[in-house]
Amino acid sequence: FTTIGLITMIYGASVALVAKDIKRMIALTSVNHMGYVLLGAFTATVAGVSGAVFQMFSHGLAVGMLFLMSGYIHDHTGTRNVDELKGLRGKMPQTVTLLFLASMAAMAVPGFANFISEYLVIQGALSVSYLFAIAVVAPALTVGYFLWMLRRVAMTPPVGPKNELRLHSILILIAFLVPLLLFGVYPPPLLGSVITPTVGKFFGAR
């Protein structure tokens, strides 16, 4: 099952590299992230299983935020095709800023909860076998396709008049973002006090 998890991670990230529909890209990111959960859970180590549980939490927030944003963007632009979203920074600057932050979370950039969860999963996998070092290919691919998307959406010259989201939509997105940053910077209230002690009762010192 650990091998299946590893394959799922790399497969999801690899297919996402050629996806041009932003919603499809996010769906494949979800496949990739669930590979981490599978890999971590079946290492049967405290680090791996704790990382898998924490990954479900952080993944739910990051991908949930991204899915919500893809819907908002489609409603405001009429398309989800990345190539047709060039210049979006000029139309929806606040939305693009939040898209950038959500993408950073999905890429597991340090400072976000996803970084800690993926680090723990890989740590647990390496404690089982150094062959699982190949798992680092998945985050590298994830960074690749998110940067490809952001380059087109956020780093192209602004096009068209502003058509920003309403305040309540922005606040909903921020509600997803805050826990990702909070538990990324200071995870002990959830990871150290709840997840790891509970996992430790089942898996001991492994």
Q: Up-side HSE of residue 146: CA atoms within 13 Å toward CB? A: 26
- The per-residue pLDDT for 115 is 94
Token pair 């985050």: residue = 139
- The per-residue pLDDT for 5 is 78
- The per-residue pLDDT for 113 is 95
Q: In 3D, which of 11, 5, 30 has the Cα closest to residue 129?
A: 5
Instruction: Determine the Cα–Cα distance for residues 136 and 184; give it in Å rounded to an integer.
Output: 20
Instruction: Determine the Cα–Cα distance for residues 9 and 30; give it in Å rounded to an integer.
Output: 9
- The per-residue pLDDT for 153 is 84
Name the stretches of the chain with pLDDT < 50.
Answer: none
- The per-residue pLDDT for 138 is 83
Q: Classify burial at 179, counting beta carbons within 10 Å of its beta carbon; exposed 0-12, middle 13-18, buried 19 or more.
A: middle
